[in-house]
Amino acid sequence: MSDRNPPEEFGDINEAVGEEWEAETTPYERIRHVVAHTYSPVSADAVADDARTAPKTARKHLNTLADEGFVETAPGDQGGTLYRRSPESLVVEQAADILEHVSTDELVTRIQEMREQLTEYRSEFGVDSPEELAVEQTNQALTEAGSPQEEIDPETIREWKTLRRNLAFANAALSIGNAEQFVDTDHRSTDDSVPA
């Protein structure tokens, strides 16, 4: 027989974790976290529920996040305001992540490789975008019903779209990196001009 006591039971593990999250963070941090994972428009009440705060507090912080460009607002069906994460904030976050893990020289090389791959897609399929390719393929299917034709693999269209998106993120990262480099250089030149 063991003299160990059985562990205490949690009434609801999610509630325990939620209470811990609430104790360790501010309402602003929780609201920002909830919105960081919100891609379709939601009400302030919905954000407040997920962030474990009052709707009035959620609205205040959501409006601050909208002023900062982290959140987009849209009118709701019932006249209220709906909130979601702005696409621009996603680009900035992705760019910052790229800069943290990839050197500028490596980034320039990868951008060149992606541009070459995009040029290959355009040459191979005779169109400028994956959307045009999909439309062209649909039109061919409608006009040549019953005729044997070569179908484009949907994976190719998906890869082309992904490549284009990744190139946009990489270009944004390079722009931000160059801007930071310019600011650092400008700051250093100002420091150098001050007599010791």
Buried b (16+ CB within 10 A) or exposed e, 64-83: ebbeeebbbeeeeeeeeebb
| Tokens of residue 174, six digits | 């390079």
Q: What does the alpha-carbon distance between residue 35 and residue 174 come to, in Å, rounded to a whole number?
A: 26
3-state secondary structure of 72: strand
Which is higher by pLDDT, 53 or 152? Answer: 53
- pLDDT for residue 55: 94
Least confident of 54-58, 113-117, 133-137, 148-152: 148-152
| Tokens of residue 137, six digits | 């393929």
Structure letter (DSSP) for residue 152? P
pLDDT tens for 65-118 read 999 999 999 998 888 899 999 988 888 888 889 999 999 899 999 999 999 999
Least confident of 19-23, 112-116, 136-140, 180-184: 180-184
pTM for this entry = 0.58
3-state secondary structure of 16: helix
| Tokens of residue 10, six digits | 């949690």
- pLDDT for residue 122: 93
3-state secondary structure of 85: strand
What is each CA distance from 144 to 134, 139, 141, in whole angstroms?
15, 8, 5
- pLDDT for residue 144: 60
- Whose CA is closest to 52, among 81, 16, 87, 90? 16
Least confident of 9-23, 159-173, 182-196: 182-196
State the average pLDDT for the chain: 82
Alpha carbon 86 to its chain centroid, in Å, reads 8
- pLDDT for residue 190: 45
Average pLDDT over residues 115-144: 85
